[in-house]
Structure 1
Amino acid sequence: MTDKSESSLARMLSVLDLFSDHQLSWTAEAITEALQMSLPTGYRYVKMLTDAGLLQRAADAHYTLGPRIIVLDHYIRMGDPVLQHGVSLMQELVEQTGLDCVISCLYGQQVLDTHREFGTAKATLSYGRGRPRPLFFGAAPKAILSCFASAQLHRVFDEHQDEIAQAGLPTDWSEFRKYYGAIRKAGHYFSNGELEPNLAALAVPLLKADDTLLGAISLVSTVSRMAVIDLPKLTQLLTRTAQEITTRIP
């Protein structure tokens, strides 16, 4: 594939990046304007993506994401080694605790929940599978970031200064590194009303023996329910489950 065709493919796929919680449908004209491309090119990209099932025609000449993405999501679930080896252990954890159990993974610099097992009292989460979570709020993202190598964490620090300040985290690199270093040393992070006021979560990183970071596993419940739970005992239980998942993955 030539550089020109690679560039063209990347621009076509960037159409999919336009879709968000804030804008779920686009016209072809709006797509071309947003991506600053010619109208014929925009129409061609939209047609190709529609033919591939990645977009579909909706009302009023708008386009939404297409059914092919649902099919691909099914294959992602089936092929995810963390889910292949972890779902049964998550179910055991839910049976033992009655709490919701969530797996979260890192894609680039986005933290996404990939699977959730519901406990006896379902916690209402604003974030679910596929919806990017804030990088600096909540138990799972902090457990994941705590396992970054120094250079990788420094890139995150450099690229997200405003978000770090808004989250009330240290804006000095040395203090920022120490903050996540403390979480790494503890081996877990407890969030109490941090991301959503009524929810608390305990997260442990999914870290293999060779320091390969696979994501995080969390137990989630309401703040009031979590307040009467033996947190050290829960941490031990969650840590053992995380270790069992990572040792099962080749």
Structure 2
Amino acid sequence: MLSVRKVFSILDLFSVERPVWTADEIIAALSCSRPQGYRYIGSLCDAGFLVRFSSAYRLGVRAVELDFIVRESDPLLRAGLPVLKQVQQQSGCDVLLISMVGDRVITVHHERGTDPMTVTYGRGRSMPLFRGAGSKVILASLPAAKQKQLFEKYYAAEPCRILGRDWEAVRASLKQIRRSGFAISRGELDSANVGLSVPITYNLPVSYASIVVVLSSVRYQTTDQDVIVQMARSAAEQISNAIGDGDAGHH
């Protein structure tokens, strides 16, 4: 019987930086036998998740189909898209919708602003857990036990350690973010950008999503931070209420 976890772990190998893998490379990464590896690859090809490309493999069209289904049906996206457009029109800034899935923080939508700027972590990109306003504000809302678990699992590989050198320092930083209700990042993901983020709580004590307003460092110098934060808070509240109303309609 195929190991579901092993099969789907193959998909985790593919990235923008590494979009093509040979069968031998996949088998080596999985540390499995060749017959097992070929069975895993074959099952993903049969389901449309992988396609053979020359003498290697790349992601298949099933991923595109699933992306369309998510765009059309995900409650966070359905509630968030019109609100993000509104924030972008009011502020002129880039606006991101961020979601935590498992241990990953991912951009699920990027509404582009009026200024030409580089935003590295656009839609579909996994973001650093301990850097960037969007990740930090989500982490700050998690229970302390979950925060510590993520710290112990991933922080050693974090190159910048912006939140502190050890667990006590990180915990104190996250408590401060939670108290203030927003997070700010200056050049943490893109050196010329500033990000301001608030959590989307769905009216619950824990947040697994956030709104990030991104602007250039130059623009930030002449921008009222409080106005941007309040705009983002209002947007987050609208999204939380819309999701809540949608859930109520299904009961």
TM-score scaled by structure 1? Answer: 0.92
Does residue 1:152 correspond to 2:146, yes or no?
A: yes
Q: How far did residue 85 of structure 1 move?
A: 0.9
Q: Could you list the per-position Cα deviations for residues 194-236 of structure 1 after superposition, in whole angstroms to 9, with x for gaps in the alignment?
A: 2211111110011132224230001112110121111111111
**Partner of residue 199 from structure 1, selected from 193, 197, 218:** 193
Partner of 1:49: 44
The answer to whether the 8 A contact 1:157-1:164 is kept is no
Q: Could you list the per-position Cα deviations for residues 138-191 of structure 1 after superposition, in whole angstroms to 9, with x for gaps in the alignment?
A: 110111111011111111121123135632432332322111010011011121
Partner of 2:53: 58
Q: Could you list the per-position Cα deviations for residues 98-118 of structure 1 after superposition, in whole angstroms to 9, with x for gaps in the alignment?
A: 111110000111111000111
Does residue 1:14 correspond to 2:19, yes or no?
A: no
**Partner of residue 205 from structure 2, selected from 198, 211, 223:** 211
**Partner of residue 243 from structure 1, selected from 224, 233, 237:** 237
Alignment partners' CA distance in 1, 2:171 and 2:87: 32
Partner of 1:183: 177
Alignment partners' CA distance in 2, 1:182 and 1:35: 41
For 1:1-250, what aligned pairs fall within 5 Å after superposition? 5=1, 8-59=3-54, 61-164=55-158, 166-250=160-244
Alignment partners' CA distance in 1, 2:106 and 2:154: 18
Alignment partners' CA distance in 1, 2:35 and 2:61: 25
Residue 249 of structure 1 aligns to a residue whose secondary structure is helix
The answer to whether the 8 A contact 1:106-1:112 is kept is yes
The answer to whether the 8 A contact 2:120-2:189 is kept is no
Quote the sequence identity (%): 34
Gaps of 5+ in 2: 245-251
The answer to whether the 8 A contact 1:161-1:171 is kept is no
Q: Could you list the per-position Cα deviations for residues 28-67 of structure 1 after superposition, in whole angstroms to 9, with x for gaps in the alignment?
A: 12211221222122222212211211001112x1100111
Gaps of 5+ in 1: none
Quick one: which amino acid aligns to residue 49 of structure 1? Answer: L
Alignment partners' CA distance in 1, 2:17 and 2:80: 32
Aligned pair in 2 of structure 1 residues 173, 33: CA closer, same or farther (>3 Å)? closer
Q: Over the residues paired in the alignment, what is the CA RMSD in angstroms?
A: 1.6
Alignment partners' CA distance in 2, 1:221 and 1:116: 13
Alignment partners' CA distance in 2, 1:244 and 1:33: 48
TM-score scaled by structure 2? Answer: 0.92
The answer to whether the 8 A contact 2:118-2:190 is kept is no
